[in-house]
Amino acid sequence: MLAIRLINIGDIQTVEVSEPIPGPEDIVIEVEAAGICGTDRHLFRGEFPSTPDTTLGHEFSGIVIDAGNSALAKGTRVTCDPNTWCGACEQCRGGRVNLCMNNVPTGIARDGGFARYCAFPAHKAHVLPADLDPLFGAFCEPLSCTLHGMDIGAVRAGERVIVIGGGVIGLMAVQLAKAAGAEVMLITRNLAKQELGRTLGATVTAGSPEEARQHWPNGANLVVECAGVVATVEMAPSLTSSGGRIVILGVLPQGTKASIEPFDLLFREIQMHYSFLNPFTHERAAQMIASGAINIAPLVTRQITLESVPTVVSSPAPDGEVRAIVVP
């Protein structure tokens, strides 16, 4: 079968590989849809830890074709939670499974969903409805990560929330904040994404921090940074009201530095948090997508073939793109 493998940093190829041989605790699915994440581009550029010669794709779903020893039935549609915690290390024993010292992420450290078939641990499969749009399952992983960040942010009804970044994480964060009863502002330079943000629940949009402060001079109770660039991390405190919170959801390249003024955070008692992966949130994400609580259809920018993936991953995302979905 064809698979998209990161041979090494800067070298991603479409190659012919054998179909996966499942381990005793694994299932095998036929992949229906897999999302191209910003992390895939970080992996390609060596900006995020990876394992050489691995099939990429950590946001994916599909149909069970080999249920192994699991209770799943063949033909079941499932989404994969890609993070396989060890359960034995200090972090896992303390309930911080997303910080597992031995995590084996599917699509990063073991073969993932940029292929026709994928094997992964059965206990990391979450069932989706048979009548769900096949593309939607690929959004469970990014939604689960967004849920973790919003849980940390602990938005309350009546608060003001600023979401920075109009990508898939930002547009999901807008919807979650709106559902929590908050007044939401989306900051993105892209006008099409501003319009989309308004349809998904943003009360107001802005193209710059200056424009945002014109709308809300006192800032927001919660600022959620979803763009993953230095400028947006550095602007977050200036958009946060005194006593407010910041959650950094965006992934910056490993080694990148950002400048923050500690005195400002101290004097205004700003809480600055970081959110990593999806501890215990994947099932909730699957249920929300299955129920239609999160509007997924507008987040699909384009569908691409497996053969197109190396070019797409090795190139910057086109202006205005939310999510490209691989359909093997």
- What pLDDT was estimated at residue 96? 97
Distance CA 240, CA 224 (A): 10
| DSSP assignment string, 24-93 | TTEEEEEEEEEE--HHHHHHHHT-S---SSEE---SEEEEEEE-TTSSPPTT-EEEE--EE--S-SHHHH
Token pair for 182? 């908050």
- What pLDDT was estimated at residue 165? 98
pLDDT (tens digit per residue) in 162-186: 999 999 999 999 999 999 999 999 9
Reduced to 3 states (helix: H, G, I; strand: E, B; else coil), residue 316 is coil
Reduced to 3 states (helix: H, G, I; strand: E, B; else coil), residue 198 is helix
What number of helices (H) and strands (E) belong to the chain?
10, 18
For the chain, the structural domain boundaries read: 2-135+296-326, 144-274
Q: Look up the CATH number of domain 2-135+296-326.
A: 3.90.180.10
**How buried is residue 71: exposed, middle or buried, by Cβ count under 10 Å (0-12/13-18/19+)?**
exposed
- What pLDDT was estimated at residue 155? 98
Distance CA 151, CA 260 (A): 24
Q: pTM of this prediction?
A: 0.97
State the residue for tokens 């190139």.
Answer: 315
Handedness of CA 111, 113, 115, 117 (dihedral sign): positive
Whats the size of the chain, residue-wise? 328
Distance CA 195, CA 193 (A): 5
Q: Which residue type does 300 have? A: V
- What pLDDT was estimated at residue 35? 98
- What pLDDT was estimated at residue 287? 98
Distance CA 181, CA 136 (A): 25
Residuewise pLDDT in 10s, the chain (328 residues):
999 999 999 999 999 999 999 999 999 999 999 999 999 999 999 999 999 999 999 999 999 999 999 999 999 999 999 999 999 999 999 999 999 999 999 999 999 999 999 999 999 999 999 999 999 999 999 999 999 999 999 999 999 999 999 999 999 999 999 999 999 999 999 999 999 999 999 999 999 999 999 999 999 999 999 999 999 999 999 999 999 999 999 999 999 999 999 999 999 999 999 999 999 999 999 999 999 999 999 999 999 999 999 999 999 999 999 999 999 9
Please, which residues bridge with residue 12 across strands?
Answer: 6
> Taking a C-beta distance cutoff of 8 angstroms, is the pair 81, 34 a contact?
no
Count of alpha carbons within 13 Å of 173, Cβ hemisphere only? 36
> Taking a C-beta distance cutoff of 8 angstroms, is the pair 26, 62 a contact?
no
- What pLDDT was estimated at residue 253? 92
pLDDT (tens digit per residue) in 74-124: 999 999 999 999 999 999 999 999 999 999 999 999 999 999 999 999 999
Q: Which helix (H) or strand (E) holds 244?
A: strand 240-248
> Taking a C-beta distance cutoff of 8 angstroms, is the pair 14, 2 a contact?
yes
Residue 176's nearest CA partner among 191, 193, 197 is 197
**Structural fold of domain 144-274:** Rossmann fold (3.40.50)
Residue 125: which residues within 8 A CB-CB, separation 6 or more? 27, 29, 64, 70, 72, 78, 79, 80, 81
Q: Which residue type does 151 have? A: D
> Taking a C-beta distance cutoff of 8 angstroms, is the pair 326, 304 a contact?
yes
- What pLDDT was estimated at residue 142? 98
